[in-house]
Amino acid sequence: MVGDRIKATVALVERRGYALPARRLGELCFGGPVGEAEVLAAVASSSSLRLMHGLVVGPDLVPAAPAIATRARTHREQAGAYLASTLVRVSPYVLGVAVAGSLASGGFVESDDVDLNLLVEDGHRHLAYVTLNTLGLLHAARHRGKPVDAHTRRPLAPRLMTANLILERSQYLPLVRQDAAMAYELLCSRPVFGSGHWRELVSANRPLVEHLPQLRQWAGDVGSTVGLGRLPGWLFPRWADRPARAVGGAGWRWMQWTRRGDEEALARVAFVRNTMWPYALFEDR
C-alpha cells in the first residue's frame, strides 16, 4: 500500500536526521514515485505521520521539525561552488562524483560541509580520500571565516568537503549491500560527473532498482572528462594507495582525537560509518 511505502521512506529519512516536504518525499518513495496529493492523503489518514512546517515527520522528529524547516528554507544552491572541479582535473582515477548529504537533500546551510560520493578506479580509494581532503584544506584556508558547527569545526580551518562514500570499481560491480538503505543513499545524492559509471553501478545492482525504480533515470547525463585537461594516470600508480592509506588513516585518527570530548560529533561519525558499512574507510570491523 502507498501508505506503508511512505511510512517506510519517512522512517529511513528520519534515521538520517532530517525530513522532507511531501513533493520530495513522493519523488523518493520506496517502490516508485507517488504524487504529492497521495502523500498528503496518506499523512492525513495516518496516526503516526504529521505535516509540520511543510515537512512530513514521524513521532521521533516532531520536536526537531522547526529547526529542520529553517534549514530547508536557507538551502543555497550556490553552495555547489564549493565543489572544486579541481578534484576531477587532478584525479584521473575518479570515475564519478555525486553530491550527497545536506546539499543534495535540500537542507544545506553555511555551516555545513559538502558531502561527496565518489567512484574510483581499483587501487585508488585512499588516494582519492587524501586528495579530496588536501584540496578541501587548501580551499578552507581561504575561508577561515566560514560559519562552523560541531561537525565542521577544525583546529586550523573549517571543514569544507567530506567523502561520504568512496567505491572502487570492483566494489560496486556488484555491491555487497543491495538493500533499501543503500538504494536510498544513491537516489538522494545528485551525480555531477561520470553519469555513465553511475548508470553502470545501477545496472550491476538490480535489487537496488526493485527498492527504488526511480534509479533507472537517476544518473541522467552529467559531466564528462572532455575538455577538463586531466592529469595523466601514470602519475598515480596503484602502489601509491598504500602510503595514502597510512597518511589518510593518521589524519582520520587525529580528527577523532580532537573530537574526543564532543559526544554529538562522535555519535554522528559513528552513525555515518554504520550507514556506509562495509564501505567506510579505515573500517575496523
The sign of the CA dihedral 267, 276, 91, 189 is negative
Answer yes or no: do 37 and 115 share one domain.
Answer: no
Domain membership of residue 281 (yes or no) is no
Answer yes or no: do 132 and 92 share one domain.
Answer: yes
Domain count, the chain: 2
Q: Which residue among 73, 98, 117 closes a domain?
A: 73
Go through 237-246 and write b for each residue having 16 or more CB atoms within 10 A of its CB, e for each that does not: eeeebeebbe
Go through 144-171 and write b for each residue having 16 or more CB atoms within 10 A of its CB, e for each that does not: eebebeebbebeebbbbbbbbbbbbbeb
Answer yes or no: do 19 and 155 share one domain.
Answer: no
CA distance 187 to 28: 7
Domain membership of residue 285 (yes or no) is no
CB 188 within 8 A of CB 182: no
Whether the ω angle into residue 278 lies within 30 degrees of 0, i.e. cis, is yes
Q: Residue 129: its pLDDT value, please?
A: 93
Q: Residue 109: its pLDDT value, please?
A: 46
Q: Residue 55: its pLDDT value, please?
A: 84
Domain membership of residue 284 (yes or no) is no
Answer yes or no: do 149 and 11 share one domain.
Answer: no
- CA-based radius of gyration for the chain: 19
Q: Which residue among 34, 49, 73 closes a domain?
A: 73
pLDDT tens digits, residue range 134-169?
A: 887 776 656 555 544 555 455 555 556 788 899 999
Answer yes or no: do 64 and 103 share one domain.
Answer: no
The residues of the chain scoring below 50 in pLDDT are 75-82, 84, 107-109, 111, 147-148, 152, 285
Q: Determine the structural domain holding residue 57 and report its residue range.
A: 2-73
Answer yes or no: do 257 and 143 share one domain.
Answer: yes
SS3 51: strand
Q: Residue 77: its pLDDT value, please?
A: 44
- What residue spans of 58-124 are helical by DSSP H? 65-73, 86-90, 101-105
CA distance 227 to 223: 10
Answer yes or no: do 23 and 47 share one domain.
Answer: yes
Answer yes or no: do 97 and 157 share one domain.
Answer: yes
57: closest CA among 75, 79, 39, 74?
A: 39
Q: Residue 108: its pLDDT value, please?
A: 41
Answer yes or no: do 103 and 200 share one domain.
Answer: yes
120: closest CA among 82, 173, 81?
A: 173
CB 274 within 8 A of CB 182: no
Q: Which residue among 46, 73, 100 closes a domain?
A: 73
Domain membership of residue 211 (yes or no) is yes
Read off the pTM.
0.83
Q: Residue 69: its pLDDT value, please?
A: 64
Q: Residue 111: its pLDDT value, please?
A: 45
